[in-house]
């Protein structure tokens, strides 16, 4: 059985990482049997130092995109088999925009804004033993602040960052329209990916400045709730 190494469920979502959650959702949508091993300690054994990764027999595969490619190639689990070339190209570009751009808007909103940090800090670090619960949040936030600076997102002002998030969500809303899924009545990799991100701001009890922006788009809220009910009703 495939094992998915994850951070774990918090705030009402299966995982607080959009990358972990999109892989989890993809496997649920395909019906592949798998188990989850959760915990921040999984970072110590992650082949690339990040989560998610999976173990399939003796093989370790890291990175959400490469994991999904592996599942398609080796487990006959392809949600995109019926997509046209144009639809597949659209999906690839949107997924890349979410992974490489929108993700950093979420990181900023969750970790660098003071209102969210006051929620994140105790949620992630309160149960750590002394003195780690005082040292770890400072170290983690400093690293994330540096990563956001290196990537460039934190060089923008708050208004500009939230406007970027709004544009992505508006584009997603237009693409989805009144359909159940982005390409019709069946889920695709794009749907698993979008859910992985939207759940962080719509389903999660950890509300950030991006949450009210997402709530401006009822079709995105309905989409997220529909996937949650269908695949995570337990």
Task: Please give the pLDDT value at position 27.
Answer: 98
Q: What is the CATH number of the domain that holds 186?
A: 1.20.1050.10
Same domain, yes or no: 27 and 107: no
Tell me which residue range forms the domain holding 116.
85-231
Same domain, yes or no: 48 and 101: no
Same domain, yes or no: 157 and 68: no
- Quick: pLDDT tens for 37-67: 999 999 999 999 999 999 999 999 999 999 9
9 has pLDDT over 90: yes
Cα–Cα distance list, 155 to 87, 147, 149 (Å): 34, 11, 6
- Quick: pLDDT tens for 83-106: 999 999 999 999 999 999 999 999
Same domain, yes or no: 65 and 95: no
Task: Please give the pLDDT value at position 123.
Answer: 86
Same domain, yes or no: 156 and 70: no
18 has pLDDT over 90: yes
170 has pLDDT over 90: yes
124 has pLDDT over 90: no
Task: Please give the pLDDT value at position 127.
Answer: 86
Predicted confidence band at 128 (pLDDT cuts at 50, 70, 90)?
confident
The secondary structure of 153-186 as a DSSP string is: GGGS-HHHHHHHHHHHHHHHHHHHTT-SBTTBSS
Same domain, yes or no: 151 and 44: no
Q: What is the mean pLDDT of residues 179-207?
A: 97
234 has pLDDT over 80: no
Cα–Cα distance list, 91 to 17, 51, 69, 194, 204 (Å): 20, 22, 14, 10, 24
Q: What is the mean pLDDT of residues 157-166?
A: 98
Task: Please give the pLDDT value at position 69.
Answer: 98
- pLDDT mean across residues, the chain: 96
Same domain, yes or no: 120 and 172: yes
Task: Please give the pLDDT value at position 188.
Answer: 98
Residue 219 lies in a domain: yes
Task: Please give the pLDDT value at position 189.
Answer: 98
Residue 114 lies in a domain: yes
171 has pLDDT over 80: yes
Same domain, yes or no: 122 and 59: no
Residue 67 lies in a domain: yes
């Amino acid at each position: 059985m495939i094992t998915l190494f994850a951070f774990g469920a918090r705030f009402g979502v299966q995982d607080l990482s959009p990358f972990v959650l999109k892989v989890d959702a993809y496997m649920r949508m395909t019906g592949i049997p798998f188990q989850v091993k959760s915990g921040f300690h999984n970072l110590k054994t992650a082949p690339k130092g990040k989560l998610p990764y999976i173990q399939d027999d003796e093989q370790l595969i890291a990175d959400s995109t490469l994991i999904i490619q592996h599942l398609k190639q080796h487990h006959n689990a392809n949600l995109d088999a019926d997509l046209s070339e144009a639809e597949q190209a659209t999906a690839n570009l949107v997924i890349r925009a979410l992974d490489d751009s929108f993700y950093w808007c979420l990181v900023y909103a969750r970790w660098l804004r003071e209102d969210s940090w006051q929620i994140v800090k105790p949620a992630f670090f309160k149960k750590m033993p002394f003195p780690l619960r005082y040292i770890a949040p400072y170290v983690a936030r400093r690293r994330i602040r540096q990563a956001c600076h290196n990537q460039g997102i934190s060089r923008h002002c708050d208004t500009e960052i939230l406007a970027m998030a709004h544009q992505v969500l508006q584009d997603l809303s237009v693409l989805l329209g009144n359909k159940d899924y982005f390409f019709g009545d069946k889920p695709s990799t794009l749907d698993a990916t979008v859910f992985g991100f939207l759940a962080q701001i719509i389903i999660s009890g950890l509300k950030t400045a991006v949450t009210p922006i997402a709530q401006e788009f009822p079709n995105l809220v309905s989409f997220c709730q529909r996937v949650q009910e269908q695949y995570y009703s337990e």
